[in-house]
Amino acid sequence: MNIVLMGYRGCGKTTVGRIVAEKLRRPFFDTDAMIQERSGKTIREIVTDGGWEVFRSLERSAVDELAGREGCIIALGGGAVLDKENVKMLKENGIFVWLTADGATIAWRLKNDRVSNDQRPSLSGMDTGVEIEIVLREREPVYRAVADRIIDTTGRSAAEVAAEIIMEQKQERKEYVR
């Protein structure tokens, strides 16, 4: 069973995912990183050159590949679950963990993440705080419908969030064995 981390940018999917993978000795994959590595372009460049449709197509290919794997920790791009086919493929062999944070926390994290800001385009062209509020409002029903678990990362370190995921995973295994 894979652990699939989803949520908005800046909620800790990649950072938490790496910690969980290391502690559980499982492979870690970040779909955004896979796309950038394979294309040789940043997400910003992909979107600028071909639009969001091209990026979403590349994302679907990465998800398709990962859905067939077993025992992985997967960090999805924030919009990956908007594609029902992505969700369907990953649900067959995965537990979805929605990492959340309040808008102010997300804005602060994004402001302080230069690499992410340089590589990822704005979703709307609006002010970051306004964009976060609007996009979260649009995506929240989808995130909620897909999530098997919800973890609020506001005011918590990545290590604390990872420890919660690991604890839940171990508890789930014990219940499954009974």
Convert the pLDDT of each residue in 114-129 to its tens digit: 666 555 555 556 677 7
Cα 102-30-26 angle, rounded to 5 deg: 105
Predicted local distance difference test score (pLDDT) of residue 178: 47
Question: Which of the four pLDDT bands, split at 50, 70 and 90, describes residue 171?
Answer: confident
Predicted local distance difference test score (pLDDT) of residue 85: 97
Question: Mean pLDDT, to the nearest integer, of 143-160?
Answer: 96
Sign of the Cα pseudo-torsion (20, 22, 25, 27, in order): positive
Predicted local distance difference test score (pLDDT) of residue 105: 92
Predicted local distance difference test score (pLDDT) of residue 122: 53
pTM over 0.75: yes
Q: For residue range 67-95, list pLDDT tens digits in order.
A: 999 999 999 999 999 999 999 999 999 99
What 3 state SS string does the chain have?
A: CEEEEECCCCCCHHHHHHHHHHHHCCCEEEHHHHHHHHHCCCHHHHHHHHCHHHHHHHHHHHHHHHHCCCCCEEECCCCHHHCHHHHHHHHCCEEEEEEECCHHHHHHHHHCCHHHHHHCCCCCCCCHHHHHHHHHHHHHHHHHHHCCEEEECCCCCHHHHHHHHHHHHHHHHHHHHC
Nearest partner of 4 among 12, 13, 138, judged by Cα: 13
How long is the chain?
A: 178
Q: Which domains does the chain have, with CATH numbers?
A: 2-171 (3.40.50.300)
